[in-house]
Structures are given as C-alpha cells and as structure tokens.
Structure 1
C-alpha cells in the first residue's frame, strides 16, 4: 500500500524522523549520566515501544492501568504508573505485581498511603511507591519541604510498602516559548526532586529513585546531578506545540494525519478535507503561541509544508484549509481527490483518535507496516 491509496483519514508515522528524535534524546541523557524511562502514553503501541529500546522493552512510564496491562502482556517488567493512584485501582496494580511486573505507583496524600498500607496487611504482592513532588505549581504533588512527604513515607514503611523515591513533572515548561526559560525550568525540576529525596533520606528512607521529566526540560537540562531517571513522551513524535515551545523544528515532527480533498469554497478561500476534529482532535494547543497553527499545519502528501497553510476550522468529519490570516501566501491548487498531510498541535491527542499507525519513511509514500495502538483505561 502507498499513501496515495490508503483510506483517509489515517495516522502516518515517519519512522526515520522517529528514530532521529529518539537518538537525539537518548544521546543527551547518556551524556548527563541518567536513566531513560520513556513515557509510552503518547505511543500506546508495542511496536513503537520496542523501537525505543532497539527491540527489547526497557523501563517505561504509563498513564493508565490499561497501558500497564497491555505492555506487561507484551513483556514489559519495569513500569511506573505516573498518575495519582485511585484506591479502587490498587487491586489491578497488585495483579500485575503478582505476575512478576515491577510496578511503582504515584501518590501525594495521606489517604492514598493509608489505603496502600491497609491493603498490604494480607501479605499479598504490592507495588512500590513514588511520592509526587510539585516543582512548579502546575498540577498535583507536594512542595519539596512539605512535612506530609515524611508522614506519607512513615505510613508506608509501617505498612511494609516500599518507598522507592520521588517523582516530579515540570508542566509549567509548556508555557515557555522559543526555548526561553527551559534551562531554568529543568533546573527547578531537578532541584525540587532532589531536595525532596534528601528530606526522605534524612528521615531514614532510602529513596533510591529520583524521577523527573517533561519533553521540554529533558532536552534543555544541563545538569541532572542527583537525578536517577528522566521520563519524556512526546519527544519521539514531537508536534506543533513542541515546535512553538522551542524544542524541535517542524522537520522533526514524525506524525501526521493523511487526508483527502473533498471540496472547495474558493470564494471563501477554503479547501475542504475529510479530516475534522475526530481525526485531528480538538486540541488547539498553539492558540496562545505567537504563531497559531489552527488545527494543524498542512503539508503535501510527501510531508513538505505549504507556506502558511493551516486547518483553520474543523467540524466532526470536515476540515477547512485556509491560508493563515495576514499571510500573503497563495492557496495551492488542490483538486478533489488530492492527498495532504496535517502536522498536529498535540501528537498525544491526535494519535488517540486512531487505531493504528501507517508507517512510512521520509521521502517515500510506501506504507511499510501498520502498527496497532491500544486504547482505554
């Protein structure tokens, strides 16, 4: 099959760009001397995950228990579930541990610690715990100097549950633009996690793991002293948000949505395609960036962008291509039936709309594989 004959809309993965993106981050982390624990919530595919580790499955991060179960069934044995633990989900996590999977869960409340300690009384398999640290006020977690960190750790130790360490995520790095502020965000992330781990150690908790990571800070970190591992997810694909933040070039974006031209409204400057928000997602993550990319940047079928051509609007199954407002660029002559590829704002959200990747390599329209994606929670 080729992209000229594939059903549309379809999710396209340029594996050459993917490999280049992965090699870039792995080399950077190796230079800094820290472990690599990619977040597979973006990929949701065993084929993609194996390529991250040159065929094997190394340590991974997941955002749903369904992901943990899916990757464990494919051979993953070292998993961090990096979303705050709901007590009702402990049983599913324990089932994975009982199968021989090393799972660490994330908590930041006394209630979660008590639920784990209570569950552990029956002597069954239990996950390890990472305590979530808030390094920038973006989401959940405890401040590095919070006394609750020690309280949680003491409850877990009394309940014979392993306190493995701390985890943080510099979500505010997504507010940076053009690379400005990312070095500082990376250092703030590192310092907060290390400070929390040191506090645990002063109170007799080994805390061997100090886990940090977002795609922006992973690439801009200059010193990761005291950190043991870095998590990042969208780095493997990149997207227009990452481009606007200053982490990647447009040419690094490895995923796109293949679509077909289905009509025109030339008096309005419109080209209509068969990819609406069901194919592209509703994510408008570049809306507050200096350059608003609409619902995505439009390329030809070979993945080469047209100047200032974006999906300006979308309904469920229709996309409207227009020249970016204020641009002098011309609307290309795209007849009905022509193929285009749309670079996404947010690769995670766009990929989630599709059941498989159509795998190509840069400059070729040949589809060399179809890699299924999992879904669910």
Structure 2
C-alpha cells in the first residue's frame, strides 16, 4: 500500500520494508537526465524492486524498456504492461517454450555467450528475438572473454545469419565496481573496460555487424557525468540504492530509498545492544566488512533519511534476530515496542525476500 510520510502506519508489528517513492523518482530522473544529454537509452533493471508500484512509476516517467534477470520475472513485467524486455541472464535452453510464449507478446532481448545456445535458438525459436552477446570484461561471471575476438565475431556472424535472431550488439556488466571504494576507483575501472569494449566494437563494425554497446551497473551509471559512446545503460540498484552503494561511492546515504522497519523486542544494557525482530530471512546475510567487523544494516531517521549519529549498526544476525549496537547515551532513548528504520546492505536481496514472505509487508511512501 502507498502512504504519505505523515500517515505511515504507526503500529508496524512485524519486519516491514518501507520504500520512499519520492527518492526512487529522484534517483531515476538523475540518470535519465544524464542519458538524454548523451543520446543514450535507459533500460532500467527491475530485479532490484520487482514491484508493480515502482514499475508504474518508471512507466509514467516515460521509460519504455526494462531489464529483468529471469524468464519468470519477464512474464511478471509483461503482465504489468511492458512491451520491450531484456532478460539479462544467459539463456536457459530448458525454458524455450516460455521464451517462445514471451516473444509472441513482447519485443524480447536475450543474452548469449556460447555457440551451442545460438544453434539451439536458431532451431527452436518460433518468433523473432533480439540478441546481445555477453562480454566478460573482467568480472569473471558470465560472457565471452573480451580478448577472444575470434569467438565474439563467430557468435556475431552466427546470430546475424539466423532468420529468427537479430544481433543487437555487445553487452557487459562490470560487477568489479562493487569492490571499489570511491568515485575515482569506479571511474578508473570503467575507463579501462570502456576502452577494451570500444576495440571490440571496431572489430564488429569492420565485419559489417551490429556493434551497439549496452552497459549495466549502478556504480558506473551513478558516477559517470555523461554516457558518451554508450548506446544503452541498464542500472537497477540505483532506483533504491543501499548501504553497499553508499560505501562504494555511488550515492549519498540520504538517497537510499529503502529501509526495514524493525520492532525492538528487547534491550541489553551491559552489552549496549538492542534486539530487533529482523534477521537473515529479512536482511539476507550480505554484509559489509569494516575494521570493527561485519555490518548488516545501519539505523536511519525516517524524517530525513540520514544515518543516526553516533551510528547504530546491525552487527549480528540470526534467522529472525538482529542485534543493534548503540552508544551509552543512546540506550535509554529507545524502548521495547519502538520501531527502528534500518538501511539494508543489499536492497535487491531484501525486496526479493519480502516478495517471497509477504508483499503486503512492503509499504510505499508517496
């Protein structure tokens, strides 16, 4: 349900996700403005939010195409009215019937990195699709090695000769940026990746093949001042941001649009700790390594979205338990039955977990 800040339900009795739609809109518009000046198209990744409310918001802003991470998610967003969808996960050939059904309803983009998959698609597709070649520019997760020009050209020609597949170009995800700390690190990494990808584009261009470039990660999309030379960007986390993005340098923590409302259920004065009802099944076990240990979340003030100071951090998680450390002067400010609002480390995981638990425990602030 959607609430204004002034009428947010006072009695949240269980762990609940709170999403600030005003911040979501501001985060997305900042990227659109940069992309417009560079003549770069925006294909937002929806795996972070998986939300009909945010889907409607970005559609109303004027975005016409999206990215998802699975065939199942593509089906979900097709039901929401999207007609141009990229599944940014290597094709699972066992889902060919579902892929064909989707391709009959929407303009469908798939990504491939193996010639056997291209052969299978050529033999089994019932409808035309668009295809990106997935390039591994250093992350080591999926894709053809960026240095393997022969294989990239081979795949491109294979796709280009197909009656059912149209080559879109090359696509990459620079997941290495998640190990960066600061904008300078992100921009330096991007420059190296970008120069390498431009050389691949030149090879495809010389072969008379499609060579558009699609780049997808929030740190790069957030820190670049322009997108010259990039045809498409596919950031996802930037809609909500999270603590990881703040620590990387992608955003200021006041831009984080998601928090977990967590009831305080006990207090431990000798340990200077509070117990909240919210554990690994709500936050996930993703953590940020700091000099003092692992960090699973940080308390914020709902009024302005800024971190409470001194910081009140989630330092331990069990399945349903979250342990929040406090300073001596803070301990008596919070009572059993109060609610803490906590920025998570990884927004994508939290939204996915709550989609599985109960969608009515995600509230939206207008």
TM-score (norm 1): 0.87
C-alpha distance in 1 between matches for 2:98 and 2:62:
25
8 Å Cα contact 1:194/1:227 also seen in 2: no
C-alpha distance in 2 between matches for 1:290 and 1:271:
21
For residue 103 of structure 1, what is the aligned residue in structure 2? 108
For residue 74 of structure 1, what is the aligned residue in structure 2? 80
C-alpha distance in 2 between matches for 1:180 and 1:281:
29
For residue 281 of structure 1, what is the aligned residue in structure 2? 284
Judged with a 3 Å threshold, the aligned counterparts in structure 2 of structure 1 residues 98 and 273 are, in CA distance, closer, same or farther, namely same
For residue 262 of structure 2, what is the aligned residue in structure 1? 259
SS at match of 2:312: strand
Match of 1:205 among 196, 205, 209: 209
Q: CA deviation at 1:333?
A: 2.6
Q: CA deviation at 1:299?
A: 2.6
For residue 342 of structure 2, what is the aligned residue in structure 1? 342
CA shift digits 1:197-240 (9 cap, x unpaired): 33222223234x32112111112224534321111001011111
For residue 185 of structure 1, what is the aligned residue in structure 2? 189
8 Å Cα contact 2:316/2:324 also seen in 1: yes
Q: CA deviation at 1:61?
A: 0.5
CA shift digits 1:111-136 (9 cap, x unpaired): 1112112224xxx2142210011222
C-alpha distance in 1 between matches for 2:177 and 2:104:
37
5 Å-filtered alignment, 1:235-254, equals 235-254=238-257
C-alpha distance in 1 between matches for 2:117 and 2:135:
15
8 Å Cα contact 1:297/1:310 also seen in 2: yes
CA shift digits 1:99-155 (9 cap, x unpaired): 2x01111111111112112224xxx21422100112223422123342111111222
Q: CA deviation at 1:55?
A: 5.5
In the alignment, structure 1 residue 318 sits paired with structure 2 residue 321: yes
Q: CA deviation at 1:194?
A: 3.1
C-alpha distance in 2 between matches for 1:90 and 1:190:
33
Judged with a 3 Å threshold, the aligned counterparts in structure 2 of structure 1 residues 175 and 329 are, in CA distance, closer, same or farther, namely farther
For residue 136 of structure 1, what is the aligned residue in structure 2? 138
Q: CA deviation at 1:330?
A: 4.1
Judged with a 3 Å threshold, the aligned counterparts in structure 2 of structure 1 residues 6 and 137 are, in CA distance, closer, same or farther, namely closer
For residue 87 of structure 1, what is the aligned residue in structure 2? 93
CA shift digits 1:276-322 (9 cap, x unpaired): 111111111x21x5686611001345455322211111111111111
Q: CA deviation at 1:174?
A: 1.0
Judged with a 3 Å threshold, the aligned counterparts in structure 2 of structure 1 residues 173 and 328 are, in CA distance, closer, same or farther, namely farther
C-alpha distance in 2 between matches for 1:277 and 1:246:
25
C-alpha distance in 2 between matches for 1:267 and 1:296:
22
For residue 353 of structure 1, what is the aligned residue in structure 2? 353
For residue 162 of structure 1, what is the aligned residue in structure 2? 166
CA shift digits 1:348-373 (9 cap, x unpaired): 01111213330125xxxxxxxxxxxx
**Which runs of 5 or more residues in structure 1 are unaligned?**
362-377
Q: CA deviation at 1:63?
A: 0.4
8 Å Cα contact 1:57/1:76 also seen in 2: no
Match of 2:219 among 209, 216, 219: 216
Which shifted more, 149-158 or 218-227? Answer: 218-227
In the alignment, structure 1 residue 39 sits paired with structure 2 residue 42: no
Instruction: Let me know the Cα RMSD of the aligned residues.
Output: 2.1
**Which runs of 5 or more residues in structure 2 are unaligned?**
1-6
For residue 18 of structure 2, what is the aligned residue in structure 1? 12
Q: CA deviation at 1:86?
A: 1.5
C-alpha distance in 2 between matches for 1:229 and 1:78:
14
TM-score (norm 2): 0.89
C-alpha distance in 2 between matches for 1:102 and 1:180:
37
8 Å Cα contact 1:169/1:189 also seen in 2: no
Q: CA deviation at 1:185?
A: 2.4
